[in-house]
Structure 1
Amino acid sequence: MLKRVFDIVFSSIVLVLFFPLFLIIALIIKLTDKGSVFFRQERIGYKRKPFKIIKFRSMYSDAQERLKDILENDKKAKEEWEKSFKLKNDPRITPIGKFLRKTSLDELPQFINVLKGDMSIVGPRPIVEEELKKYYKGKEYIFDVAKPGITGLWQVKGRSDIEDYNERIKLDEEYIKNQSFLYDLKIILKTIKVMLTGKGAY
């Protein structure tokens, strides 16, 4: 109950304080690239129920088609994708998208997900169903005991610099085993520090 109350209060304050920034980011995205301001994607939520995560769009509108072409024609990129489900030098990301990701500003709309109850401020990484099936065999319970979070141990211990996917899962498990209100506060403070440095974000 304390965690939920904190989520609501914290998210409400962030959304009110950063509303002008929301408008500026939305305008820049709209002016620099055609397509929606927001990116919505189905993710695995609490009790493994799917929900639509909301982010500022950081990729070109035809990102999925570009990814398919990259994986079919670039062997090295395909190996990187299969290992970490990410591309370090991802050509699908727009110029403004690179800045948003570096500063984590693309994740601001996720506070709407928190208010709706789909997510928490701190929790396991919000993953897609493909990741759950491919990497989380025997570890699915993670999403049975906690809501996915905007931030978490993965965020403060390297973010995308952690290339071994199993290491990401271990961090999710570590959070589950140690979660408490004070532990969440500690992670939030560390997240602010990581955001200011931009370390591990791409």
Structure 2
Amino acid sequence: MDHSELGNGKVQIFYPDPSQLSLRKKISRISKRTIDILGSLLGLLIFSPVFLIASIAIKITSAGPVFFRQERVGKGGKIFRIYKFRTMTVKNDESEHREYMKQFIHGQAQAVEDETTGMKVFKMTNDSRVTPIGRILRKTSLDEVPQFINVLLGDMSLVGPRPPIPYEVKEYNLWHRRRVLESKPGITGYWQIEGRSMTSFDGMVRMDIRYINTRSTLFDLKVILKTPLALFTTKGAY
């Protein structure tokens, strides 16, 4: 570690060794990827009954495939296809959702009262595209279980910002873009356990940036451990 002295007081200023910083970043990346692989394999094993039950329920109650695939924006703006359980009808118009997200991102969306908790939340209500089974899957966030596949493929991480749709990113302000440029999207994250749909878009991005600035293996593990409580209480879920 290099250092220099200022004045006669001999105040030492230490400069971190670039090679040490590079090594730490490399170790951090390897550690995060290892946790992602092991965690996603474990998740697929634990939630295998959900795969079976959800697949049967979706096929019985609505026409169409079990899985829903959609383009999302990953780290550095890379486009990938996300996997989820299908919660909507096959033929649907996404213009209403596109318009809502535009208003949400620009701070023009109005918070509504959640029919379950009575709390004010930011989300679309009475979305006619969502099936009855889909509402249950969304309320418990179980529709996102197939994203463990995306983690195995390396497109996502267990912990990170929510993966946005390309037309959402087009509406971003410059500072919003940090959430997609500097981190892989995650199945869960700081926003998901602390705010979910009770938080404005700017608030969500601030939480994502806070995660990006302070992320560590320990922080990721804390988020993962807190996720089941947020999931099963359905607080602010979409």
Q: Does residue 1:185 correspond to 2:194, yes or no?
A: no
Instruction: State the match for 2:103 in structure 1.
Output: 83
**Alpha-carbon deviation of 1:140?**
2.0
Instruction: State the match for 1:52 in structure 2.
Output: 81
Q: What are the superposed Cα offsets for residues 74-127 of structure 1, whole Å, 9 maximum, x if unpaired?
A: xxx987543227513322111000100111110000000000000000001100
Distance verdict in 2 for CA 1:151–1:49, change over 3 Å: same
Counterparts of 1:20-31 in structure 2, within 5 Å, are 20-31=49-60
Q: Which letter does structure 1 place at the counterpart of 2:152?
A: L
> Match of 1:140, SS?
helix
Residue number among 94, 111, 128 corresponding to 2:148 in the alignment: 111
> Match of 1:172, SS?
helix
Q: Does residue 1:159 correspond to 2:193, yes or no?
A: no
Residue number among 167, 188, 199 corresponding to 1:130 in the alignment: 167
Distance, in Å, in 1 between the alignment partners of 2:211 and 2:196 is 15
Identity %: 49
Q: Does residue 1:145 correspond to 2:174, yes or no?
A: no
Larger Rg: 2
Q: Any conservation in 1 of the 2:98–2:167 contact (CA below 8 Å)? A: no
TM-score by length of 1: 0.88
> Match of 2:40, SS?
helix
Q: Any conservation in 2 of the 1:101–1:201 contact (CA below 8 Å)? A: yes
User: Which structure 2 segments of 5+ residues have no match?
Assistant: 1-29, 106-122
Q: Any conservation in 2 of the 1:40–1:55 contact (CA below 8 Å)? A: yes
> Match of 2:174, SS?
coil
Q: Any conservation in 1 of the 2:101–2:168 contact (CA below 8 Å)? A: no
> Match of 2:51, SS?
helix
Counterparts of 1:36-47 in structure 2, within 5 Å, are 36-47=65-76
**Alpha-carbon deviation of 1:62?**
1.8
Q: Which letter does structure 2 place at the counterpart of 1:56?
A: F
Matched positions, count? 192
TM-score by length of 2: 0.75
Q: Any conservation in 2 of the 1:81–1:87 contact (CA below 8 Å)? A: no
Instruction: State the match for 2:212 in structure 1.
Output: 176
Q: Which letter does structure 2 place at the counterpart of 1:137?
A: L
Instruction: State the match for 1:34 in structure 2.
Output: 63
Q: Which letter does structure 2 place at the counterpart of 1:48?
A: G
> Match of 1:177, SS?
helix
Question: What is the root-mean-square deviation in Å for CA atoms of aligned residues?
Answer: 1.8
Distance verdict in 2 for CA 1:143–1:60, change over 3 Å: same
Distance verdict in 2 for CA 1:182–1:9, change over 3 Å: same
Distance, in Å, in 2 between the alignment partners of 1:81 and 1:114 is 25
Instruction: State the match for 2:6 in structure 1.
Output: none
Instruction: State the match for 1:74 in structure 2.
Output: none
User: Which structure 1 segments of 5+ residues have no match?
Assistant: 72-76
Q: Which letter does structure 1 place at the counterpart of 2:62?
A: D
